Structure 1
Amino acid sequence: MKKSAYKINIIGAGISGLIAAQILENHGYHPTILEASDSVGGRVKSEMIKGHNLDLGFQVLLTSYPAAKKYLNYDALDLQKFLPGAAIFKDGKSQTIGDPLRNFSLLIPTLFSSIGNFSDKTKILKLNTILKKKTIHEIFNTDETSTLKYLQSFGFSKEIINDFFKPFFSGIFLEPDLATPSRMFEFVYKMFGNGFAAVPKNGIQEIPNQLKAKLKNTTFKFNTFVKEVKDKEIILDNGDKIESHITIIATDASPLVSNLKNQETTWTSCDTLYFETNERVIKKPLIGLIADENALINNIFYYTSLPSSNKTDKDLLSVTVVKNHSLNDLDLILKVTEDLKILCGIDVKKFIKHYKIKKALPATTNLQYEISSSETKLKSTLFLAGDQLLNGSLNAAIISGERAALGVIQTLEDGFITDELTSEYS
C-alpha cells in the first residue's frame, strides 16, 4: 500500500497538528487536517480589527525554546524583541527593572529601583546562575512544589514576590496565585534568561501561517466540527462519517473519545482587552506589571512600542486579566478603564476588543518536557498530541505533535495496521 493512500486524519490545526502534518509529509504521507474554525493556529491566532492586528490574548514567543528553533524560521517571522525587563506600577508610580547584563540601558533604573531589597537583587543573580547551569532534563526531574513556595523557600522577600514575581509570572501562567508547579517556573525563567521574548511583526498568527505554508501534501478541511472519534471512524457534528486508518487528536481529546470522558483537561482562563490610548506611558518595549493585589488588571503592553503591521498610527494597549470575576462585558471594560487610570495614569481613548479566553492554558501537574512516541498512542489507530500532554507552552505543543506523528509512522512501518486495510489499497 502506498504511503500516500493511507487515510491519516489530524483533528486540530493548532501548532501540534501542523507539526504532526509536517513530520508525516516528510516521511511520504498525505494527511488531512480537520479544523473547527476557519483558519490555522488553534490558540495562536491574530485578527485585524479597526486597523490593529490583535493577537487573541497577549502572547509571546520565547526565542530560546529548543523545539521552536528547530521548526521555525525566526528571520522570516521578522521577530520584534522585548527588552529584558519590566515597568512596575505601584502606588501610582512606575519603576523600571531589568537585566543590565543583557541591555545596559536597564542598569541605572534597576540600581535605583525600590522594587526588592539588596538581598532580593543578589538572590535574583544567584537564581540566574543556578538556572543557566541547570539542564532542562534536570529541571523536569526536580521534585515539584508551587511556584510561590519555591520563591519563598529561595528566600525572596514578600515584597518582591508581590511586586515582581507574582504579576510577571501570573501573566505567563494565567493564574493569580503562583500555584503553577515550580518545574514550569524554572523552565520559563531559564528560557527568558537564554533568549528573548518576541512577537512577529505581523502578529502571533504568523507562526502557524509559516508552518502551514511549508505543507505541500496536506489537505485542510476548515469549519469541520468533530463530534466523536472511534477506532477507524470520525463522526462529525452534522452526522457525516469519515473513514480513518489512523487519527491524531491534536486538541483536547476527552470530549471526543468515549473512554476519556472522565479525564477532561483542566484549563486556565483569562481576559485580554485592547484599547487605543492618548499616549504611551511606557515608551520602551517593556511589559507593564501591576503590583497591587487589589487590582483586577495584571499586566499591560503597548504593541505600538514595537514595529508592527498595524494600519493606524494610534497607540495600541493590551490589558490582561487573570483573576476570576463575574463582571459582564461592559462592567469589565469600565473596571479595567478605572484601574488603568488610577494605577497606571493611563487615559483610554477607545475600546477596541475584548477576548474572553476560556481555554487559554492547560492546568497540568507532574509536568514533563519530553514524551515518547509510544506514550502518544491511545490505541494502534489513535494518537494524541497537544501541550496538555506535557506543559503549557508552544515548545510542548511542537514536541507532542512531532512525537505523535513519529508514533504513527512507527505503527505503519511495523505493520500494526490490520491486513484488510493493507489489502484494500494494495
Structure 2
Amino acid sequence: MEKSAYKINIIGAGVSGLIAAQILENYGYHPTIIEATEKVGGRVKSDHFQGYTLDRGFQVLLTSYPVAKKYLDYKALDLQEFLPGATIFKNGKQQTIGDPLRKISLLLPTLLSNIGTLSDKVKVLKLNTLLKKKEIATIFKEDEKTTLQYLEDFGFSEEIINDFFKPFFSGIFLEPNLDTSSRMFEFVYKMFGDGLAVLPKKGIQEISNQLKSKLKNTSFLFNSKVQEVKNNAILLEDGKEIKSHITIIATEASSLISNLKNQETVWKSCDTLYFETEQRVIQKPLIGLVANKDALVNNIFYHTSVATDAKNTKELLSVIVVKNHQLSEEHLIEKVQKELNDYCKITNAKFLKRYQIKNALPNLTNIQYEISSTETKLKSTIFLAGDQLLNGSLNAAMISGERAALGVIQTLEDGLIVDELTSEYQ
C-alpha cells in the first residue's frame, strides 16, 4: 500500500497537530486535519477587530525555545522584540526594572528602583548565572516544589516576590499564587534569559499560519467537531463517519474516547481584555505589572509599543486577569477600568473586546520536557499529542506533535497494524 493512501487523521489544527502533519508529510504520508473551528491555531490565534489584531489571550514567543527554532522561520515572522524587563505599578508610582547585562539602558532605572533589596538584586544575578549554565534536561529531573517555595528557598525577600515574581510569573502560569512547578519556573526563566520575548508584527496567529503554509500534502476539514474516536473511525457531531487507519488526537482526548472519561485534563483559565487609549503610560515595549495583592488586574501590555499591522492611530492595551472571579462581563470591565485608573493612571480606556479563555493552560504536576514516540500511543491505532502531555508551552506542543507523528510512522513502517481497512482503499 502506498504511503499516501493511508488514512491518517489528526484531530485539532493547533500547533501540535500542524507539527504532526509536517512530520508525516516529510515521510511521504498525506494526513487530514479535522478542526472544530474555522481556522488553524488552536490556542495560538488572532482576530481582526476595529482595525486592530487581537491575539486570543496575551501571548509571547520565547526565541530560545529549542524546538521553535527548528520549525519556525523567525525572520519571516517579522518578530517584534520586548525589552528584558518590566514596569511595576506600586503605591501610585511607576518603576522599571530589567536585565542591564542585556540592555544597558535598564541599568540606571533598575539600580534606582526600590523594588526589592540590594540583596535581592544580587540574587537575581546569581539566579541568572545558575540557570544559564543549567541544562534543560537537568531542570526537568529536579525534585518539584512550588515556584513560591523555590523563590523563598533561594532567599528572595517577600517584597520582591510580591512586587515582581508574583505578578510577572502569574501572568505566564495563569495562577496567582505561584503554585506551578519549580521545574516550569526554571525552564521559563532560563528561556527568558537565553533569548527574547517577541511577537509577530501581524499577531500570534502568524505562527500557526506559517506552520500551515509549509504543508503541501495535508487536507483540512474545518468546522468539523469530533464526537467520538474509535479504533478505525471518527464520528463527527453532524453524524458523518470518517474511516481512519490511524488517528492522532492533538487536543483534549478525554471526551472523545469512552474509557478516558475519568482522565480529563484540568485547565487554568484567564481573561484577556483589550482597550483603546489615547496615549501610553509605558512608552517602551515592556510588560506592566500591578504589584497590589488586592488588584484583579495582573499585567498589562501596549501592543502598539512595538510595530503592528494596526490601522488605527490610537494605542492598543491588553489587560490580563488570572484570579478567579464571578463578575458579569459588565462589572468585570468596570472593575478593570477603575483599577487601570487607580493603579496605572490610565484614564478613559475604551473597552474593545474580552476573551474568556477557559482552557488556557493545562494544570499539571510532574511536568516533563520530553516524551518518547511510544509514550504517545494510546491504542494500536490512536496516538495523543498536545502540550498537556508535557508542560504548558509552545515548545511542548511542538515536541508532542513531532513525537506522535514519529510514533505513527514507526507503527506503520514496522507493520504493527492489523489493517482491516486496507482492502477498502486498494
- TM-score tier after normalising by the smaller chain length: over 0.9
Inter-partner Cα distance in structure 2 for 1:425 and 1:50: 48
Provide, for residues 152-210 of structure 1, a one-character-per-residue CA deviation record: whole Å limited to 9, x for no partner.
Answer: 00000000000000000000000000000000000000000000000000000000000
Residue equivalent to 1:188: 188
State the alpha-carbon separation in 1 of the partners of residues 297 and 261 from structure 2.
35
> Which amino acid in the other structure matches residue 332 of structure 2?
L
Cross-structure match for 1:162: 162
Query: What are the equivalent positions in structure 2 for 1:399-418 lying under 5 Å apart?
Result: 399-418=399-418
Are the equivalent residues in 2 in contact too, given 1:87–1:96 (CA < 8 A)? yes
1:352-409 deviation per Cα after TM superposition (whole angstroms, max 9, x unaligned): 1011000000001100000000000001100000000000000000000000000000
8 Å CA contact 2:337–2:349 kept in 1: the answer is: no
- Give distance in 1, aligned partners of 2:423 and 2:280: 66
State the AA in 1 paired with 2:410.
Q
Taking structure 2 as the reference length, the TM-score comes to 0.99
Contact kept in structure 2, 1:275 and 1:348, CA below 8 Å: no
Where does 1:263-302 land on structure 2 (aligned, <5 Å)? 263-302=263-302
Identity %: 72
- Which TM-score applies when normalising by structure 1? 0.99
Rate the CA distance shift 1:274–1:248 in 2: closer, same or farther, 3 A: same
Show the 5 A alignment for 1:97-116.
Answer: 97-116=97-116
Secondary structure of the equivalent of 2:96?
Answer: strand
Name the residue aligned to 1:386. Answer: 386
Q: How many residues align?
A: 426
Q: 1:10 aligned to 2:13?
A: no
Task: Say which SS state the counterpart of residue 262 (structure 2) adopts.
Answer: coil
CA RMSD of aligned residues (A): 0.7
Structure 2 counterpart of 1:351: 351
Asked whether the equivalents of residues 245 and 419 of structure 2 are also in contact (C-alpha less than 8 Å), the reply is no
Q: Which residue is 1:96 aligned to?
A: 96
Cα deviation per residue 1:283-331 (whole Å; 9 max; x = unaligned)?
0000000000000000000000000001111100000000000000000
**Which residue pairs with 2:175 in the alignment?**
175
| Contact preservation (8 Å) 1:88, 1:289 | yes
What SS does the aligned partner of 2:285 have?
coil
Structure 1: which 5+ runs fail to align?
A: none
Residue 87 of structure 1 pairs with residue 97 of structure 2? no
Q: Which amino acid aligns with 1:225?
A: K
Q: Return the alpha-carbon distance in structure 1 between the equivalents of residues 228 and 221 of structure 2.
A: 16
Equivalent residues of 2:55, 2:205 under 8 A apart? yes
Partner secondary structure for residue 408 of structure 2: helix
User: C-alpha separation between the residues in 2 aligned to 1:194 and 1:78?
Assistant: 20
Report the Cα distance in structure 1 between the residues aligned to 2:93 and 2:52, rounded to whole angstroms. 29
What one-letter code is carried by the residue in structure 2 that aligns with 1:245?
A: H
Matches within 5 A, 1:137-286: 137-286=137-286
Rounded Cα–Cα distance in structure 2 between residues aligned with 1:422 and 1:269? 43
Match of 1:37 in 2: 37
Provide the C-alpha distance between the structure 2 equivalents of 1:278 and 1:55, rounded to a whole number of angstroms: 20
Q: Can you list the C-alpha shifts for 1:191-238, whole angstroms capped at 9, x where unaligned?
A: 000000000000000000000000010000000000010111111111
- Answer yes or no: is the 8 Å Cα contact 2:234–2:241 preserved in 1: yes
Whether contact under 8 Å (1:304, 1:316) holds in the other structure is yes
Moved more, 348-357 or 250-259: 348-357
Partner of 1:372: 372
Shift of 1:424: 4.4
Q: CA deviation at 1:421?
A: 3.5
Partner of 1:54: 54
CA distance in 1, matches of 2:127, 2:420: 58
TM-superposed CA distance for 1:417, in Å, is 1.4
> Which AA in structure 1 matches 2:46?
S
SS at match of 2:411: helix
Note the residue ranges of structure 2 that are not aligned, 5 or more in a row. Answer: none
1:132 aligns with 2:150: no
1:361 is matched with: 361
In 1, the alpha carbon distance for the partners of 2:425 and 2:414 equals: 17
Q: Which amino acid aligns with 2:49?
A: I
Post-superposition shift, 1:57?
0.4
Equivalent position amino acid for 1:284 in 2: K
Matched position secondary structure for 2:160: helix
Kindly provide the amino acid, as one letter, of the partner of residue 395 in structure 2.
N
